[in-house]
Structure 1
Amino acid sequence: MAELKPVDGSDVYLWKYLPSIPAASVFLILFTLITAAHTWRMVKTRAWFTSVFALGGLFQIIGYAIRILSHYYTNEIALYVIQISFILLAPVFYAASIYMVLGRLVLSVHGERCSIIRPTRMTKIFVAGDILSLTLQGNAAGLTAKAKTQKIGEAIIVSGLFVQLVVFGFFVVVAMIFHKRMGRQVAKQPEFTTNVPWRQGLNMLYACSALIMVRSIFRVVEYLMGVDGYLLINEWPMYAFDSVLMFAVQIIFFIWFPDKFSKDDGHDFEEAELMVR
């Protein structure tokens, strides 16, 4: 029978509760289905720049699969670190794709003059911040599994999450300024109207950004409360404020898939490579 066990040769417990198999299984299935659907649509429309988003879905799948296994091996450091790392880092890849979408959206409507950042630099600037966040959180996840370095690891993770929030906040400001300027441009010059659904694309970006930011704020509060805080000793908050929200992000991205902003010019792969190098 599964039970909470301390790490071998110590009195340190990695888990504050026994991971729920039903809950993890539900989200394993959900993320598998939506990621498969996303991959199919990406291939069908040749929107290769969204491959990074699919990678985020793959991270979720691996994370929840390992979480199920952790139910039976609560004293295994490797399993604990893998599941927490993959679930924690998946949104970083979602964010990278969202940044890429805005740059391509601006180019697709020839709205370079309406953007405060040149579209050709937009992806590099925001993804650079994303990579910093990814590096901080990824390197710190393993530290949280050891009693001596737990607080250090949590502090670094919080720093990574703060970086993500700051970058996302700036991204939203850039998107809103473009939205306002583009709207004025279309109003003044009716002939400037485009068939590209740029307003729909921006609304999709706003929705996904809001959900990821709420999730990041939850994670910051979770780690700031410490190992004995309510959010870490209970399992349901993670599913309510992380799993559900990130699944919603994938659903929204799939429904309003940004294939209208994709151009088969070789840049799709170049952009995706920024995150996987």
Structure 2
Amino acid sequence: MPSLETYKGTYLWEYIPSLAAALTFAILFLLLTIVHTHKTLKLQTWYTIPFITGGISESMGYASRAIATYHTGSLVPFLLQAIFLLLPPCLFAGTLYMVYSRIVRAVHGERFSIVSPRWCTRIFVAGDLLCLNIQSTGAGFLPKPKPKLVQIGNAIIITGLVLQVVVFTGFMWCCVLFHRKFRADVAATRRAGEIPWESVLYMLYGTSVVISIRNVFRLVEFITGHGGYLFLNEWPVYVFDGVLMLIVMLVFYIWYPPQLQLDGTESMIELSGEDRASAEDGQGK
């Protein structure tokens, strides 16, 4: 029978993790990751690799929770589930940033974006990486036996989550401004295009709102501390984190943006931050 055990005299868990719930979510995330991987390989949409990595992280996080059911006093599964469940939104967001950049390029709407495509991916991904590093560092303090170190870890994670909310809010505002300006231009010029740019933007809005709700939940969870309701009960983790991240993966799969696929040269531009003109000059030589 599973029971609460201590690690160096300290309880890592406030409850015994549900084996059934953890296995169910681990399998669901694994299945979604597999279908996303298949679509990425089929369409060669390599910019979705961070998204797939986030799905792998979710699956590993819930698998670690399943293992922890019978090892509540073990540090490794506790630490793995804490880290792997904190990081996926940052990885999902990395792909969303690149999707926005590709929308702007695909419709030649660079002048309507408050952040140019050349800088968009770099700025927001850099912010994401900073959030990743901050949150993973804070998670490393959680299993420490000293209460002060746990408080420091919570404070570090809260800082990372606040920054993540700020970065994501900036990204959504960037999308909204571009949407308004470009839609007004389309209406004025009555030009038509084959790329469903507006539906892709709506997909970005939907997934961004869901990720933001999850980030706010985690922020409240760590602000209220280990004695708060969200830490003392398991169901909020599944409702306000697991289910929401499943929705993100489902929505992205259903409204997948293959029309935004760029050629190999442009894909390298996106990763390296070089502008299109530089790449074209290099090809002409």
TM-score range, shorter chain: over 0.9
Q: Which ranges in structure 2 are unaligned for 5 or more consecutive residues?
A: 274-285
Cα RMSD between the aligned structures?
1.4
Q: TM-score, normalised by structure 1?
A: 0.95
In 2, are the aligned partners of 1:67 and 1:80 still within 8 Å (CA)?
yes
CA–CA separation in structure 1 for the residues paired with 2:69 and 2:127: 34
- Tell me which residue corresponds to 1:188: 188
Aligned partner of 1:119: which letter?
A: P
Q: TM-score, normalised by structure 2?
A: 0.92
CA–CA separation in structure 2 for the residues paired with 1:12 and 1:189: 66
Deviations 1:109-142 (A, max 9, x none): 0000110111111000000100110000011101
For residue 126 of structure 2, the aligned residue among 125, 128, 152 is 128
- Tell me which residue corresponds to 1:14: 12
Write the mapping of 1:1-277 to structure 2, written as runs, cut at 5 A: 1-7=1-7, 10-148=8-146, 149-191=149-191, 193-268=192-267, 271=270
- Tell me which residue corresponds to 2:277: none
In 1, are the aligned partners of 2:118 and 2:270 still within 8 Å (CA)?
no
Aligned partner of 1:18: which letter?
A: I
Aligned partner of 1:189: which letter?
A: T
CA–CA separation in structure 2 for the residues paired with 1:21 and 1:188: 57
Deviations 1:42-66 (A, max 9, x none): 1111110001100000001111111
CA–CA separation in structure 2 for the residues paired with 1:267 and 1:226: 45
CA–CA separation in structure 2 for the residues paired with 1:271 and 1:117: 14
CA–CA separation in structure 2 for the residues paired with 1:97 and 1:66: 25
CA–CA separation in structure 2 for the residues paired with 1:54 and 1:215: 18
In 2, are the aligned partners of 1:49 and 1:272 still within 8 Å (CA)?
no
Deviations 1:131-167 (A, max 9, x none): 1100000111010111321010011101100111000
1:115–1:55 CA distance, 2 compared to 1 (3 A): same
Superposed displacement of residue 2, structure 1: 1.3
CA–CA separation in structure 2 for the residues paired with 1:62 and 1:264: 33
CA–CA separation in structure 2 for the residues paired with 1:90 and 1:264: 27
In 1, are the aligned partners of 2:9 and 2:145 still within 8 Å (CA)?
no
In 2, are the aligned partners of 1:49 and 1:271 still within 8 Å (CA)?
no
Superposed displacement of residue 270, structure 1: 6.5
CA–CA separation in structure 1 for the residues paired with 2:13 and 2:177: 44
Superposed displacement of residue 269, structure 1: 5.9
In 2, are the aligned partners of 1:50 and 1:272 still within 8 Å (CA)?
no
Q: % of aligned pairs identical?
A: 42
The runs of at least 4 consecutive aligned structure 1 residues that moved more than 4 Å come to 269-274
Aligned partner of 1:218: which letter?
A: F
CA–CA separation in structure 1 for the residues paired with 2:271 and 2:88: 15
Q: Which ranges in structure 1 are unaligned for 5 or more consecutive residues?
A: none
CA–CA separation in structure 2 for the residues paired with 1:23 and 1:42: 28
Superposed displacement of residue 266, structure 1: 3.9
